[in-house]
Structure 1
Amino acid sequence: MTQVERHTYDVVVIGAGGAGLRAAIEARQRGLRTAVVCKSLFGKAHTVMAEGGVAASMGNVNSNDNWQVHFRDTMRGGKFLNNWRMAELHAKEAPDRVWELETYGALFDRTADGRISQRNFGGHEYPRLAHVGDRTGLELIRTLQQKIVSLQQEDFKETGDYEAKIKVFAECTITELLKDGDKISGAFGYWRESGRFIAFDAPAVVLATGGIGKSFKVTSNSWEYTGDGHALALRAGATLINMEFIQFHPTGMVWPPSVKGILVTEGVRGDGGVLRNSDGKRFMFDYIPEVFKDKYADNEEEADRWYTDPDGNRRTPDLLPRDEVARAINSEVKAGRGSPHGGVFLDISSRMPAEEIRRRLPSMHHQFKELADVDITAEPMEVGPTCHYVMGGVEVDPDTAAAKVPGLFAAGEVAGGMHGSNRLGGNSLSDLLVFGRRAGLGAAEYVEGLAARPEISQSDIDGAAERAVQPFDPQGGGVEENPYTLHSELQQSMNDLVGIIRKAGEIRQALEKIDEIKGRIPNVAVEGHRQFNPGWHLAIDLYNMILVSECVAKAALLREESRGGHTRDDHPAMSANWRNRLLVCSTDGTDVSVVEQPQPPMREELFQLFEIGELEKYYTEEEVAAHPGRKA
């Protein structure tokens, strides 16, 4: 019988980023015993890398802003493939979540009259991002962490035990979700330091594990982003949606090679920075899509006026939605107008005094000075697209964040639907606050409504333990494989063949490579013991990355159009017929299957928020005609 450390909780939250911490706070405040399990150290979640701000229509800088405008911007950014109910809830509740953070102790930048300051960002009609310089994610995590600590102090006063109702299990990896029949019964994992096994008996699990970026060679994502939550949900019987949509953030560092992909916040452009090619030209004016022609400035003089007078002028194309900017940069580089190291130039030094740059963008100034020996107050940055975010994730109920498996919930980047085919900058932090809270609430209500707790069987624990240690005794019968080699091959294949520009033939090549790697996985071998063994950690992560990469590639092959973060060179146009078709991934434990599913129609009063001309660019004529009374 497997030796395993056992813990009993009501709710287990996997992931300690913004979504996970907000879910844990909500569950704890409902009186449930809650565990937070994080792969890295507490406070080191990838949320700290979010720099620009939290999108919320508070109207502090422009009083014309409201939830309806935010909803419209989100749907436009996602090319109308968003789950409209999630976009509605997000737009309505984001301001409350930001003000709530302030009551927790968050220290936002302020306007001259003392309100929370808000900055411009790509795809947002008005200045909407509440920010803390360019370190907003760090402040968010610091604030939520402190709220967890304050709840623990409350518990100590009441029970004499800091961890009576909420406990953090840091540097702990979950490898499998456990079930009793069709219901979640808990989770199995191991301590990364010692390799000892651990099991959580819990009727509800909230996935808040973030994204999948480490399946790609060039990424802004940290080492934790290996698609764990996506894969855990799939293997437990849940479904994933929109996995073909990968956001390549337009501005990652391109030099030196050791830091290639590290994020350069959109806040640089939000504060006035502009993109230039090797000829010094502001090229984004050449790439304004027809659907945005009436929203964005078409010359430098008009765009520059917008920076100083956001009320009366159209927006600068440097702040088009991220998918549009990334494709434009890619086109400039391919045309031979790129920077010396394969990107383009991002210039803030000619747009703002040096002292103001250091005040508003302290992290960016430090990052480029230390990592690239570039002083952004005096010279431009070299930037290029980097794999940044996956719009796809676990298919959830928009109101409760519940997956199709009873007892399983998901929030943040691991959940699908909210962002459609492309996420607007700043919507990630408000997304994880809004749906982190809803996931914690949904999990609490689920547990409170159970007649009996599901139970973990010893055979399930034994099986999970056996699968976890397989790399120490591979059973494939072939030549032993190095996990680092397989990971490198997977990353290169995904980057080259299922990257920012896709073609059917290349995607098929990627699927062939994924199949080949799947066949070599049983031969993955690691040396040494379970203590302090990064090779073993990567071997386990590989199972997840391969499964999720197969979802991405198969969905990308099926969707024969270009929309948002999915660009098919052989199908360059966006099709209204594909707008209402979602691609849903599931697995039988061996292979991934992808099927089409119709998108639920938008509620009538939300449909009426859009103008006829805009709707006709996304919907069929029949669909538009079926909604009389919409705006002319």
Structure 2
Amino acid sequence: MAARASIVVVGGGLAGMSAAIEALRQTSHIAGVTVALLEKEARTGGNSGKASSGINGVLTRTQKSKGIHDSVEAFVQDTLKSGHGRSNETLVAKLARDSTQAVSWLQEDFKLDLDVLARLGGHSFPRTHRRPDLDGKPQPVGWGIVSTLGRHLGEVAALENARFKLVTGARVIKLLPATQGGVAGVVYETIDPDTKVIQQHSMHSDVVVLATGGFGGEGSKPHYLKQYAPQLVGLPATNGAFATGDGLGLAAALGAELVDMDQVQVHPTGFVKSTDPGNPTKFLAAEALRGEGGILLNGLGRRFVNELDTRDQVTDAMNKFCSAPDTRARHSASTEEIPKEPLTAAFLVLSQAAADSFGHGALGFYEKMGLMSRAGGLEELAATLRVDQAVLRKTLQDHDSARDKGTHDEFGKSVFPQSALNPLTPSDDKLQIQIQYYWGIVTPSIHYTMGGVRFDDMARVLRAADGAPIPGLLAAGEVTGGLHGANRLGGNSLLECVVYGREAGRQAATLVTSAFFA
């Protein structure tokens, strides 16, 4: 006999967990309503757990405590501008409007200390919330959020196992069609831990929420990427290999429309590890590194871009100014072509002030991972990067001159979070000792897929044939398309997972409650 749950959530990242939590809360007064969350990996978290820069929110208690006078309208305009005219304005308006409550939900209900703010590229105000170091150790924001929500769901499963079921290692392979159209459940596979035999199961339900993520982690087996953005095949990626776009095919088979599938975000700063430069999976250099004052230099030690421009603009500038043999940053001292070295790369450099602002817990983690290094002064930094010291000094001085004057620099940058040049500091023995710089090498990497299933601001998946909602089918997170348009702002991914995940949970609860009392 097939299993049954009133609501099935497919995908255990932040969007899926938000949907499950909200659905459970909205139906807590109805004992007969059950929720199941199916995750194909061995544990929940997904790409949400890898997010490092933060979650956006306006008019939050954190913004207010710091005297930041942001607005929903400013957030909407920043997001629409970043999307280059392709974003659905209704979806964007809801994202911005609900951002206050989304951050508050995490802070109040789950006691998450989202008390550090940064202004990321393309934003008019500091509105990207992350967690502070704790006892000198980093608190990664994405992992902190999903692990906290995961523990909550684990507690719910233990206390209310009749109402909630979490199944890991469960890969959904089909949506069951309802007799009158719509969805009636899922078919999923598991692998028997003893025999290693694949077993197939079905689970009937009134509502299915798709929260399966994007398709930016296909690695050596491109499918959607090869079909819609073949020019990007072969680039490294920051995604987990599990990000294969499973939900897109599931929804399309039921008649859902796919939108903006060719819009794939290449993040400009994936770390290039000196001991493994050719690894196709890159660890993301958090955008907050630039948001707190980090600068980008080409292989000659010169700046080439406004570091706080949108991700697509920074990536385009890197491809233009950091791809020639002499302008490409590299770990190796050789000028010969090295296949394992990325063909486009830049130096990411933080002054001591920028490092202090970003947080030494996270920087220490990057150092331990072999992704960032230190240099004791400008002379040592120039020698380490193998650039002319006079050129490097002028580059940093020009940055700081524009900062001091409060003007735009030659790249259009008008926000300078910290100085780029370290001051000279006298030591106890009267010698001039320069404080430290922090540096790493970064390369453009596939990061996020803006395209996905078309949905509305009630998280309902829309049919390709007539644009009408598919009964019982909801979606949230990176599996959806139409929200971000041609480019996603940093900090909007975790936010959309919470805003639209919770919306999907509310809508699912409404649907099953209506059916329950019909």
Q: Alpha carbon RMSD of aligned pairs, Å?
A: 2.3
C-alpha distance in 2, partners of 1:150/1:451? 26
Which position in structure 1 is the counterpart of 2:510? 445
Report the secondary structure of 2:471's partner residue: coil
Q: Percent identity?
A: 30
1:232 to 222, 236, 250: 250
Report the secondary structure of 1:407's partner residue: strand
Which position in structure 2 is the counterpart of 1:12? 8
Question: Does 1 or 2 have the higher relative contact order (CA < 8 Å, sep 6+)?
Answer: 2
Instruction: Within 5 Å, give how 1:112-511 maps onto structure 2.
Output: 116-133=115-132, 135-152=140-157, 156=159, 162-181=160-179, 182-192=181-191, 193=193, 194=196, 195-213=198-216, 214=218, 215=222, 216-217=233-234, 218-255=236-273, 256=276, 257-258=278-279, 260-284=281-305, 317-336=306-325, 337-340=327-330, 341=341, 342-352=343-353, 356=356, 360=359, 362-372=361-371, 374-375=373-374, 378-404=437-463, 405-450=470-515
1:105 to 96, 105, 110: 110
Which position in structure 2 is the counterpart of 1:75? 80
Report the secondary structure of 1:82's partner residue: coil
For residue 451 of structure 1, report the CA deviation from its aligned partner: 8.4
Which letter maps to 2:108?
A: T
Which letter maps to 1:101?
A: L
Report the secondary structure of 2:445's partner residue: strand
C-alpha distance in 2, partners of 1:367/1:7? 45
* CA contact 1:268–1:348 (8 Å) conserved in 2: no
C-alpha distance in 2, partners of 1:322/1:15? 27
C-alpha distance in 2, partners of 1:452/1:180? 20
Which letter maps to 2:116?
A: S
1:6-30 deviations in Å (ceiling 9; x for gaps)? 3210110011111000000111112
For residue 268 of structure 1, report the CA deviation from its aligned partner: 0.7
Structure 1 pair 331/75, CA: closer, same or farther in 2 (3 Å)? same
Superposition TM-score, scaled by structure 1 size: 0.60
Which position in structure 2 is the counterpart of 1:52? 53
Structure 1 pair 266/184, CA: closer, same or farther in 2 (3 Å)? same
C-alpha distance in 1, partners of 2:486/2:189? 35
C-alpha distance in 1, partners of 2:267/2:354? 26
Structure 1 pair 360/379, CA: closer, same or farther in 2 (3 Å)? closer
* CA contact 1:253–1:259 (8 Å) conserved in 2: no
* CA contact 1:275–1:344 (8 Å) conserved in 2: no
Structure 1 pair 144/403, CA: closer, same or farther in 2 (3 Å)? farther
Paired residue total:
402
For residue 251 of structure 1, report the CA deviation from its aligned partner: 0.5
Uncovered stretches (5+) of structure 2, i.e. residues with no partner: 28-32, 133-138, 223-232, 331-340, 376-435, 464-469
Instruction: Within 5 Å, give how 1:22-61 maps onto structure 2.
Output: 22-31=18-27, 32-57=33-58, 58=60, 59-60=63-64, 61=66
For residue 118 of structure 1, report the CA deviation from its aligned partner: 1.4
1:135-173 deviations in Å (ceiling 9; x for gaps)? 1101110221233234346xx3xxxxx311111101111
C-alpha distance in 1, partners of 2:142/2:472? 29
For residue 203 of structure 1, report the CA deviation from its aligned partner: 1.9
For residue 432 of structure 1, report the CA deviation from its aligned partner: 0.6
1:328-366 deviations in Å (ceiling 9; x for gaps)? 111113344111233433434434376x37x71534542
Which position in structure 2 is the counterpart of 1:522? none
1:457-499 deviations in Å (ceiling 9; x for gaps)? xxxxxxxxxxxxxxxxxxxxxxxxxxxxxxxxxxxxxxxxxxx
Report the secondary structure of 2:96's partner residue: helix
Which letter maps to 2:244?
A: T
For residue 127 of structure 1, report the CA deviation from its aligned partner: 0.5
Question: Which one is further off, 130-139 or 431-440?
Answer: 130-139
* CA contact 1:220–1:387 (8 Å) conserved in 2: yes
Which position in structure 1 is the counterpart of 2:98? 93
Report the secondary structure of 1:186's partner residue: strand
For residue 260 of structure 1, report the CA deviation from its aligned partner: 4.7
For residue 105 of structure 1, report the CA deviation from its aligned partner: 2.6
C-alpha distance in 2, partners of 1:365/1:100? 30
* CA contact 1:210–1:414 (8 Å) conserved in 2: yes
Which of the two has greater helix per residue? 1
Which position in structure 1 is the counterpart of 2:426? none
C-alpha distance in 2, partners of 1:120/1:146? 30
C-alpha distance in 2, partners of 1:383/1:260? 13
C-alpha distance in 1, partners of 2:516/2:255? 22
1:19-75 deviations in Å (ceiling 9; x for gaps)? 000000111112231100011123342211000010111233353201111111111
For residue 369 of structure 1, report the CA deviation from its aligned partner: 3.3
* CA contact 1:25–1:440 (8 Å) conserved in 2: yes
Runs (4+) of structure 1 exceeding 6 A deviation are: none
Which letter maps to 1:94?
A: S
Which letter maps to 1:360?
A: G
Which position in structure 2 is the counterpart of 1:113? none
* CA contact 2:292–2:354 (8 Å) conserved in 1: no
Report the secondary structure of 1:334's partner residue: coil
Report the secondary structure of 2:307's partner residue: helix
Which letter maps to 2:130?
A: H
For residue 259 of structure 1, report the CA deviation from its aligned partner: 5.9
Which letter maps to 2:267?
A: H
Report the secondary structure of 1:423's partner residue: coil
* CA contact 1:207–1:408 (8 Å) conserved in 2: yes
Uncovered stretches (5+) of structure 1, i.e. residues with no partner: 110-115, 157-161, 285-316, 454-632
Structure 1 pair 347/383, CA: closer, same or farther in 2 (3 Å)? closer
C-alpha distance in 2, partners of 1:375/1:407? 54
Which of the two has greater strand per residue? 2
